[in-house]
Each structure stands twice: as structure tokens, then as C-alpha cells.
Amino acid sequence: MNMSLVTMCYLGASVCFIQALKGLSNPRSALVGNAFGLAGMAIAVATTVSLIVALREAPGTGLGLVALGVVSGGAIGSLLAKKVEMTKMPELVAAMHSLIGLAAVFIAISAVIEPAAFGITATGVHTIPAGNRIELFIGTLVGAITFSGSVIAFGKLSGKYKFRLFQGAPVSFAGQHAVNLVLAVAMLGCGIAFFLTQAWAPFIAMAAIAFLLGVLIIIPIGGADMPVVVSMLNSYSGWAAAGIGFSLSNPMLIIAGSLVGSSGAILSYIMCRAMNRSFFSVILGGFGAQGASAASAEGGAARPVKSGSADDAAFLMSNAESVVIVPGYGLAVARAQHALKELAEKLHKKGVHVRYAIHPVAGRMPGHMNVLLAEAEVPYDQVVEMEDINGEFGQADVALILGANDVVNPAAKNDPKSPIAGMPILDAYKAKTVIVNKRSMAAGYAGLDNELFYLDKTMMVFGDAKKVVEDMVKAVD
């Protein structure tokens, strides 16, 4: 196969990936962006398979394994895509990141075992050039950290497992940062030893320490920081792929990995700004542990609150001029987005101005609420980001909060000692009336009590979000 043609095909795939990112930056163009992404991946896979066919030394060498990987991977991916619920998307994303990291490690190991097979050296030559050793070193350590860190993130996001490391609460121990520092230095030392000697012992030790470091980096991070963790791991997986792309002299892998790495890093920065946290404070487990103790100290469940029914809430909204809806993770868990859209449509027919307020870190991953509402085909012009909607809460007759907690907690503005102090929030507390739907008075993912629930103008409506919203729809009728 002509290598110039291969380069052109890889370049075309890379252009498709760039267009995919551009399309996915806006809900209106997301479908086109997905189409570009699929086209780019199809071109990349077809080109790679064609290259294997052209370069194989014996008929059929390796093609069976390639076909098995493509068919089995495609089948598993299709099955997961059809079965996954929107509430499970964050942990699915974390799981996919882990696979990318592990793939980078496996490729690096294979390249060290047989560098000639990857075109790194001539046939029969096993001394890897210095530049490639650096690339393999970086790709391995980033891939290993991405894999183990993503596994921990998956467990924390799913909330299914009783193993302590997979709990949403931060896991910390005395001298944790010092241990991480020692391990990081040891990992770099082993990497340097591998670079100097190309010996297996330091390479294996480096990979093992990186796997362990990935676990230790993620376990002290509290649940409220998980959106940043997801985007951060996304960035890591991209850089791991780019590092391996350099080793394999694969321009498409370099470009695609760099796109994922840079976009994930930018998204992590945006998320940190939305939470008023520095990136390093999140990575080092900057908050979350204090939140758990704060919640228990408050004893919020024993404080009196005003409660009402779905009928009461429907009456208030039906007689309002404007309603701002704040969706949260509780809405996603109940899969109430379709019922919510129906409620908004009925209120709109009654002349009520309805809008949805979206916090950048609502849910368990960036854009979670946007995707949820898009699944229910909520008009895009009704979905408004935090910085654009906050000025309207003061004029809103009703703020309807469904399953959100930390992103509407006034403690971020009113309590300088709160673990979330300084975090930008949706100003739902400024609305004339606040209606909050929750299953119970349990603390949110950050483990903090919420003063909003105890205000005189707040009415709590307890129950499953889908059932409550469906009852509201009936009452509006």
C-alpha cells in the first residue's frame, strides 16, 4: 500500500475528528459532529487494516486476530450503547477511558518486546532509539495511571460496590501526599533507568508504580469533584494515545490523541473554574472529606422544613408568570426528563414562561444535564447556562429544583468556612418561591446540608422525581 496514500487517509480521518469536536461543542450540531467522528474512525480502521494486509510477511498473518478484535469490540460497543441508561453514562465514559489507558500500556509492552514489528528498529535489532524509549516511558506511565484511576472513578460513579475504595466519600490516610510524592519520584527513577539501560526490571517496576499511583490519586477525591475527574481522565487517555502514536510513527494517532488530551485539559480547567477550585487542589483531594464531617455535624435531617404535595406545587407553578427549572442527578436517576418536558409544555400553554437552568457540574459528568434534556427533545432555546440564567432568578416566581443539591447550596456564597465556599452556584434561593423535589433530606454528593431547604419560601416535595413530576402534570390538567 502506498505510504503517501496511508498518510492522506490518516490526515482525512484527523480532519474528521477535528470537525467532530467542533460539532459536539453545540447541541444543535452534535448529530453532525457524531457523524464526522464515526466517519473518521471508519477511515482510520479501514486504513490500518489495509496497511496490515499490505505489510504482512505471510498470507493471513495477524488478520484473524485483527478481525476478531474489530468484530468483538464493535459488538460489545453496540450492545453497551443500546443498553446503557443516561444515568450510567458517566461510569461508562470512565470505563472507556480505562480501556484506552490499558491499550496504551499493552502496545508499549509489545513495542519493547519486539520493536522491529512496530517499525521502531530494523529486523533483528532490539536496541530501541533514545527518543522512542522516552515516548514508550511516557505512554506507559500515563496509560497505567489512566487505567487504574479510571477503574476507581468507575466504581465511585456507579455507587454499586461496597469496597471502600469505590465509595463516593474521599479515602485518605496520614502522609498520603508524601507517599504519592515518593511513588512519583520512584516511578520517574525507574523510567530513567529504563531509558538508560532498556532493561525489563525498571520498565515493569515503573508500570506497576504507575498503576498504584493512579489508584492513590483518585481515592482521596470527593464525589463533588467527580465531573472534573472524568474530564481529567479523558485528557490523560488522549495523551497516552498520543505518546504511543509517536512511538509507532502514526500521525493519525498523534493528532487524535492530542485532540482528546487538549480538549479534556481545557474542559477540566473550565470545570475547576465553575467550582472555584484550582486543578491541583482537585487532583490532590482538595475537598470532600470536610464535607462529609460538615453534614454529620449539621444534623440537617432533624430541622423542620415546609413540605407539600405535587398538587400544591402544580398550583403554584400554574399561577406563576415565570418558572425556572433546575435539573439535577436525582432527575437523571428517576429518568423523569420526559415527564418534565410534558410538564413544561403544559405550563407553557397556560402562558407560563419556562426555562431550564444548567450548572456546569450538575450530575456526574460535564454536560450530563444537557444530554439528559436533549434526550427528551427539550427545545435548546429553553436550556440556559448558569452565567446567563442567574440574573433572572430574582424575577422568577418559582424555582423548581429536581434532584439538585450542591449546585444550589447558598453556603457556597454565605459560609466562608464551607468546603464549597466560593463555588459558583445557581441563585435559586433568589426566586420568590422555591420548590424542591428530593427523595429525602439526605445530604448531596458533597456531603453537605443545604440551607436552601429550610427557608420560609421553600416547599419540599418528597418522592421519586418521575412520580412527583407525573403527578404535577396531572394536577396542571
Query: Taking a C-beta distance cutoff of 8 angstroms, is the pair 431, 397 a contact?
Result: yes
pLDDT of residue 169: 67
Task: Identify the burial level of 169 via C-beta atoms within 10 angstroms of its C-beta, where 0-12 means exposed, 13-18 middle and 19 or more buried.
Answer: middle
How far apart CA 325 and CA 426 sit, in angstroms, is: 11
Cell triple for residue 157?
A: 460513579
At 295 the pLDDT is: 42
| Poorest-pLDDT segment among 83-92, 127-136, 245-254, 260-269 | 83-92
pLDDT band with cut points at 50, 70 and 90 for residue 318: very high
The β-bridge partners of 401 are 326, 436
**Residue 461's Cα: distance from chain center in Å?**
30
CA distance 222 to 15: 37
Torsion angle of the four alpha carbons 105, 110, 113, 119, in this order, in degrees rounded to the nearest 10: -120
Could you give the CA distance from residue 267 to residue 412 in angstroms, rounded to a whole number?
22
Catalytic residue among 225, 406, 427, 471: 406
Q: How confident is the model at residue 446 (pLDDT cuts 50, 70, 90)?
A: low
- Whether 288 shows a pLDDT value over 50: the answer reads no
Q: Which residue has the higher pLDDT, 31 or 277?
A: 31
* DSSP code at position 287: S
pLDDT tens, residue by residue, 376-394: 889 988 999 998 999 999 9
Lowest mean pLDDT among 94-98, 156-160, 234-238, 404-408: 156-160
What pLDDT was estimated at residue 222?
66
Verify whether residue 406 is a known catalytic residue: yes
285 Rama sector, left if φ>0, alpha if ψ -120 to 50, beta otherwise:
left
Please give the residue that has the higher pLDDT: either 5 or 158: 5
| pTM for this model (two decimals) | 0.74
Angstrom distance (rounded) from CA 61 to CA 407: 55
> CA–CA distance from 91 to each of 85, 151, 333, 435 (Å)?
11, 9, 13, 30
pLDDT at residue 297 tops 70:
no
User: Average of pLDDT values for 317-329?
Assistant: 94
Q: 459 has which bridge partners?
A: 435
Chain segment 166-203, per-residue pLDDT in tens: 766 677 788 888 898 999 999 999 999 999 999 999 99
Whole-number pLDDT of residue 293:
40
Q: CA end-to-end span of the chain, whole Å? A: 67
The sheet carrying 433-438 orders its strands as 383-385, 353-358, 322-327, 398-402, 433-438, 458-462
Q: How large is the average pLDDT for residues 97-114?
A: 89
30-34, 52-56, 117-121, 287-291: the lowest-pLDDT one: 287-291
Cell 532498556 sits at which residue? 198
Contact 446, 221 (CB under 8 A): no
State the DSSP string of 321-353.
SEEEEEE-HHHHHHT-HHHHHHHHHHHHHTT-E
Is the Cβ–Cβ distance between 139 and 108 less than 8 Å?
yes
Q: What percent of the chain stands above pLDDT 90?
A: 35
Say if residue 195 is exposed, middle or buried (CB neighbours under 10 Å; 0-12, 13-18, 19+).
middle
